[in-house]
Structure 1
């Protein structure tokens, strides 16, 4: 993608900032002690990151601030949609898995999509932190960043919430399901 493809129009930026501000105000439990004005200033200074948030929003991720890194000054956004983002489901884990399928290939894979959006897949730890902020993936599941050792053996991991418990599971990286997508994170 060229840099020009990663630029939002003024109208798109304003609409996205309004959406993010409204979500921020509605879900203060996700970011106690943080002020929207500081988040907005950071976003306006990092338009490429704003583009990534737009991509998260466009795929129904409902990104929201979930933390602030005191060392770097960065705000941390996660996909906070109740279920795995609709626009990112029915994907296998990565390109290698996609290419290994002989038939019934999905249209895409989680790792390439995340890279194209400029975001990272949540780690298992990130996912568990997200679940402390609410009940997510009660009907769906989300691929999470898989350790190299597991991936080398052909597997990938995903998480969901059932029975008031967060579970981590494994599957072949080439598998895909209509109810499994992925959640991302972005630091701004």
Structure 2
């Protein structure tokens, strides 16, 4: 991950925008009716959001535009990598869960890592929306935002896709697995 400086150099910006445009063009079914020139203008006007997209990209998320919110005039990006982003796996759910582990602690937690990146974990509904765009997490799973009532009892939620069906599961928030990471959402 990058340092505390949440800004990319002009060269890094152009390289990232080129990567995002290539992905946008290759996956036009994810964002019907959205024009790249408008997305690009928004990206260039939001350096910190571009930094967050770079964090998503550098951890293996392959972010792409999946929608547009007319009320807020924001483009919505989700991690669209085939599997849960490789650079965000083997982590527990949140800081409280990380601190609760007495031994074999993971390096980080999904909630903290997302906050550091300037993104949000997907909600259950967002995860299901993503799965309408393709088949994701066929071999991995992804933590999702967990309702407070479940988290207070020590649990956390994650999803995956198996048998051509999207599944929602629970686990102890302190658990972590090599095949479980998280997917993020960013509004620009």
Tell me the TM-score normalised to structure 1 length.
0.98
2:18 maps to which residue? 18
- Aligned-pair Cα RMSD in Å: 0.9
Structure 1 moving runs of 4+ over 6 Å: none
Q: Cα gap change, 1:4/1:138 in structure 2, threshold over 3 Å: closer, same or farther?
A: closer
1:167 maps to which residue? 167
2:151 maps to which residue? 151
Unaligned runs of 5+ in 2: none
1:27-66, CA deviations, whole angstroms, 9 ceiling, x for partnerless residues? 0000000010000000000110000000000000000000
User: 1: distance between equivalents of 2:168 and 2:12?
Assistant: 37
Matched, 1:55 2:55: yes
Shift of 1:4: 6.7
2:96 maps to which residue? 96
Pairing of 1:104-183 with structure 2 (within 5 A): 104-183=104-183
Shift of 1:143: 0.1
User: 2: distance between equivalents of 1:132 and 1:29?
Assistant: 11
Secondary structure class of the residue paired with 1:5 = coil
Unaligned runs of 5+ in 1: none
Tell me the TM-score normalised to structure 2 length.
0.98
1:80-107, CA deviations, whole angstroms, 9 ceiling, x for partnerless residues? 0000000000000000000000000000
Secondary structure class of the residue paired with 1:18 = helix
Aligned residues: 186
User: 1: distance between equivalents of 2:31 and 2:73?
Assistant: 14
